[in-house]
Amino acid sequence: MDVEADVSRFLKHIESERRLSPRTVVSYRKDLEDLRLFFDDHFGGGEWGWGTVERIDFRSFMGWCGRKGLTRRTVARKLSATRTFYRFLHLEHRVPSDPVRTLRSPKIEKRLPGHATSRNIEAVFLGAEARAAANTFRDTRNLVILELLYGSGLRLSELQGLDLSDLDLRQEQAKVLGKGSKERLVPITGSAKRAIGRYLPRRLELGAASFAPDREALLLNPAGKRLSGRSIQTIVRRFLDDAAPGEGLSAHALRHSFATHLLDAGADLMAVKELLGHVSLSSTQVYTHTSKERLRQVYRSSHPRS
């Protein structure tokens, strides 16, 4: 059995058929490379194949990860990648059984997602709107970025991939391409609609330059190319660092804030799940923990007997 060829087929499968993101494919590749290197050493350089590895060998791999100082979360991720890989091998009849299926993942604590407070958000938009009042290309575009990340709960990759044709300003909605290339419609707030209306004329002015701007992308850089995810992250970090210094909040914190503030205001959990584009309700339920923790903090700081 060709060990490396099986990994290559699997990576091609998740990239072309399951349409997972390039970053996810790279993560799978690294995890499976670590697994292969471990088994090369574990079996003393002798012949081995994916079908000959037993459950106890995978437990040895988990122990090896622990001795290397990897966190439980990282070990759980590697085990999850291995499970997905073996499920593929089993369905392709490359292995007679799936020895990973019954392995337990290490227990990990759920991390509460970082989010901005309502006061932080207010400060972010006060600053962004003041800058956008100058009606420059950069400042009107940056306000659109903030409005869509917080107002519609978009992932950074979803925002970065938005085209002009994805917007329906009359219906105040946008079509986004989420994880696994799944499309969904998200609402656009009135303030986001106004921000886009202010930005689009500035965007059109790039057409008067000596270069031809990207005709499809909503968000452009001054060179007329689609704005990169890294640039969006940098722009948002600057606003968040000004509004919440020392918190280390990222662009994704605006999506977390979107969900947390909706639930704090009494929004239905299933509705928030659909707005976020989550497949599993458990992915959305982490935001209820955030809200409960906020209530605990209020209780401890306010109640005289707490």
**Which amino acid makes up residue 85?**
F
Cβ 166 vs Cβ 176: under 8 Å = yes
Q: Distance between CA 5 and CA 287 in Å, rounded? A: 41
What is the SS3 assignment for 50-91? CCCCCHHHHHHHHHHHHHCCCCHHHHHHHHHHHHHHHHHHHH
| Residue pointed to by tokens 């993942």 | 105
**Which amino acid makes up residue 3?**
V
59 catalytic residue (yes or no): no
107 catalytic residue (yes or no): no
- The active-site residue, picked from 36, 138, 179, 294, is 179
| Residue pointed to by tokens 């007679």 | 96
199 catalytic residue (yes or no): no
- The active-site residue, picked from 28, 86, 150, 287, is 287
Cβ 74 vs Cβ 64: under 8 Å = no
DSSP secondary structure letter of residue 228: P
Q: Distance between CA 210 and CA 206 in Å, rounded? A: 9
- The active-site residue, picked from 29, 87, 194, 252, is 252
DSSP secondary structure letter of residue 244: S
Q: What value does the CA radius of gyration of the chain take, rounded to a whole number of Å? A: 23
86 catalytic residue (yes or no): no
287 catalytic residue (yes or no): yes
Structure tokens, 299: 């209780």
- The active-site residue, picked from 42, 194, 237, 278, is 278
Q: Distance between CA 185 and CA 177 in Å, rounded? A: 9
252 catalytic residue (yes or no): yes
Structure tokens, 81: 């990648």
Q: Distance between CA 85 and CA 14 in Å, rounded? A: 10
Sign of CA dihedral 249, 120, 203, 157: positive
- The active-site residue, picked from 226, 255, 256, 261, is 255
- The active-site residue, picked from 90, 141, 155, 256, is 155
The catalytic residue positions are: 155, 179, 252, 255, 278, 287
